Amino acid sequence: MIRSIVRGSGSALPKRVVTNAELAAQVDTSDEWIVERTGIRQRYIADDSETTSSLAIDAARKALEMAQMDAKSIDLIVLATATPDQTFPSTASRVQAALGCQGGAAFDVAAVCSGFLYALGVADSMLRTGMARRALVIGAETFSRILDWEDRTTCVLFGDGAGAMVLEAADVAEEGPGILASRLHADGDHNELLYVDGGPSTTGTVGKLRMKGREVFRHAVVNLAEVLEEVLQEVGVGAAELDWVVPHQANARILDATARKLGLPAEKVIKTVEKHANTSAASVPLAYDEAVRDGRIKPGDLVMLEAMGGGFTWGASLLRV
Closest CB 153 distance from ligand COA, rounded Å: 4
Instruction: Give percent helix, percent strand, percent coil of the chain, each to the nearest 5.
Output: 40, 30, 30
Give the C-alpha separation, 201 to 273, whole Å: 33
| Nearer of residues 71 and 216 to ligand COA, judged by Cβ | 216
Tell me which residues touch ligand COA (CB under 6 A): 29, 33-34, 37-38, 113, 152-153, 156, 211, 213-214, 216-217, 220, 250-251, 254, 278, 308-309
Instruction: Name the closest residue to ligand COA (Cβ).
Output: 213
User: Is the distance from CB of 40 to CB of 277 less than 8 angstroms?
Assistant: yes
Residue 4 or 42 with smaller CB distance to ligand COA: 42
Nearer to ligand COA, 96 or 223 (CB): 223
Task: Give DSSP secondary structure letters for 55-113.
Answer: HHHHHHHHHHHHHT--GGG--EEEEE-SS-SSSSS-HHHHHHHHHT--SSEEEEE--GG
Nearest approach in angstroms of CB 113 to ligand COA is: 3
- Side-chain-side CA neighbours of residue 19 (13 Å): 5
3-state secondary structure of 40: coil
- The answer to whether 142 and 46 are in contact (CB under 8 A) is yes
Q: How far is the CB of 250 from ligand COA (least distance, A)?
A: 3
Task: Please report how close the Cβ of residue 15 comes to ligand COA at its closest, in angstroms.
Answer: 24
In Å, how far from its chain's centre is CA 29?
27
Classify residue 81 by burial, with Cβ atoms within 10 Å: 0-12, 13-18, 19+: buried
Nearer to ligand COA, 105 or 222 (CB): 222
Q: 104 or 115: whose CB is closer to ligand COA?
A: 115
Active-site residue list: 113, 248, 278
State the minimum distance, in angstroms, from the CB of residue 216 to ligand COA: 4
Helix spans in the chain (H): 20-24, 31-38, 52-67, 91-99, 115-128, 152-155, 213-235, 252-262, 273-276, 283-293
